[in-house]
Amino acid sequence: MKTAISTFALGLVMAVPVAAQDVITYDFEGSFDDATFAVESAIVNRGLVIDYVSHVGDMLNRTGEDVGSETMIFENADIFLFCSAAISRRVMEADPMNIVHCPYSIFVAEMDGEVMLGHRAYPDGPMQEVEAVLDAIILEAQAQ
């Protein structure tokens, strides 16, 4: 019984949510539409398939009044979700719990007339390969 209680207590400690992850951002010289096109092109140029584009900015702007807010957070914001079978296999063979990071995402956001690109920061170790790919995609998008 004591072991069961200890195991349960350990499970509770391990289930505590962690703080939001760090974000890596890059400035983009150009319009929001140019940035989304550049990011999409840079992803596809690597042979990757975009699974979904989340139009977060549209959703926030559309629902603000419904939830009692008049604050405009983003003028525009989209998140591109995609995966790489090869990279995902490597990082999940290293640690199956890296599944939590898949699919990978890059966001494009416009605030106060400034456009930025970004992604979450990943933990040290195998996930640094994913972070390097995301950085390379963004750098390619910036150069277009």
Query: What is the Cα–Cα distance from 35 to 39, expressed in whole angstroms?
Result: 6
How is domain 20-143 classified at the CATH fold level? TATA-Binding Protein (3.30.310)
User: pLDDT tens, 82-93?
Assistant: 999 999 999 999
What single DSSP character describes residue 19? P
Residues 6+ apart with CB under 8 A from 64: 70, 71, 72
Report whether 118 contacts 77 (CB < 8 A): no
Domain boundaries, the chain: 20-143
The pTM of the full predicted model, rounded to 2 decimals, is: 0.83
User: pLDDT tens, 70-109?
Assistant: 889 999 999 999 999 999 999 999 999 999 999 999 999 9
Residues 6+ apart with CB under 8 A from 48: 82, 83, 84
